[in-house]
Amino acid sequence: MRKITELKEKQEIALGILLYLDEVCRKLAEEAGVERIVEEVPEGVEVTMREQKDGTRYVFVQNFNREAVEVKLPIERYPVWQGTYDGTIGSWKTIVLKGR
């Protein structure tokens, strides 16, 4: 029982550290002017952006999960350029958004 209690305490400490580091990273990104394109990114999903010299931005949203995931994309600002989006992204699919 003692080992279980110790393990739970270590997990709580680790979670606290992760939450603290997440907040520090968010503040640093905000201070550096990093734009958050997608507010909530589900586990297994990656969002990256490339900007061309003319100011055109391409946002790549990739789902690396075995199942479709629900994610809110900023399609008002960055319309879907490639792929299919209905509020979800299919398993192992990529959606490309394009905007300025």
Tens-level pLDDT at each residue, the chain (100 residues): 778 788 889 899 999 999 999 899 989 988 998 888 998 999 999 999 999 999 999 999 999 999 999 999 999 999 999 999 999 999 999 999 999 8
Question: pTM for this one?
Answer: 0.74
Query: How far from 85 is each of 14, 27, 31, CA to CA, in Å?
Result: 36, 31, 32
Residue found by looking up tokens 């997608």 in the block? 38
What's the confidence (pLDDT) of residue 2?
78
Whole-angstrom distance, CA of residue 54 vs CA of residue 81: 17
Query: What value does the CA radius of gyration of the chain take, rounded to a whole number of Å?
Result: 18
Whole-angstrom distance, CA of residue 100 vs CA of residue 78: 8
